[in-house]
Structure 1
C-alpha cells in the first residue's frame, strides 16, 4: 500500500471518529514535533494564524526537537483534516501526533 493510500485511510478513519465523538464546531488539539528550527516552527504557526489558536511550543531537553501544541476551534472534521494536510505539504520532516 502506498503512502498516499495510508494517509487517505488515516484521514477517512479520523473523520469518522471525529464525527462520532464530537459535537461541531469544537476545540481541537493538534500536536506536532519538528527538529528545532525557527523557520519550520514559524511556518506551522502561520498556518494557524488568524484562527484564534492557542499555540504552545516546548523544546526537548537537548533542544534538538520542538513540540508544538495548537488548540483551535474549528467548524467540522474536514477543517481539522485540511490543516493536517496543509502542514504536511508545507513543512518537511514534521511528525503529526
Structure 2
C-alpha cells in the first residue's frame, strides 16, 4: 500500500496500525489465538499468497466462496505472540492485491 494512504477516518496507514496495536494491547492477553478475516477475489494465487504469509505460524483456516464464486472469504485463527505480530501479519496481507481485511 502507498505510505500516503489515508482511510475514511482521515488516518494515514502508520497512524491506523499504531492505533490498532494500542487497542490490541489493551484488549488481548498475548500470546493467544487471534482471528483474522479476509475477503479477496477467487484466485488460487491470492490464496497461496495468504498461506505463505502464515506459513511459519500455527493456524487454522476456513474458506467459503461467495454465492457467485467471484470471491473467497477466509477466517484464520493464528497463534500470535504479541500485538506487533498481529500488526505485522496485517501489513503483509495488505500487500495482496484485492484483499479486504475485516
TM-score, structure 1 as length reference: 0.90
Cα distance between partner residues in 1 of 2:71 and 2:17: 25
More helix per residue: 1 or 2? 1
CA distance in 1, matches of 2:47, 2:90: 15
1:66 to 55, 62, 72: 72
Q: Number of paired residues?
A: 95
* Runs of 4+ displaced beyond 2 Å: none
1:83 pairs, out of 82, 86, 89, with 89
Q: How far apart are 1:73 and its partner, in Å?
A: 0.8
Taking the aligned partners of 1:38 and 1:28, their CA distance within structure 2 comes to: 24
Partner in structure 1 of residue 24 of structure 2? 18
1:36 aligns with 2:36: no
Structure 1 segments unaligned to the other structure (5+ residues): none
Q: Tell me the TM-score normalised to structure 2 length.
A: 0.86
RMSD: 1.3
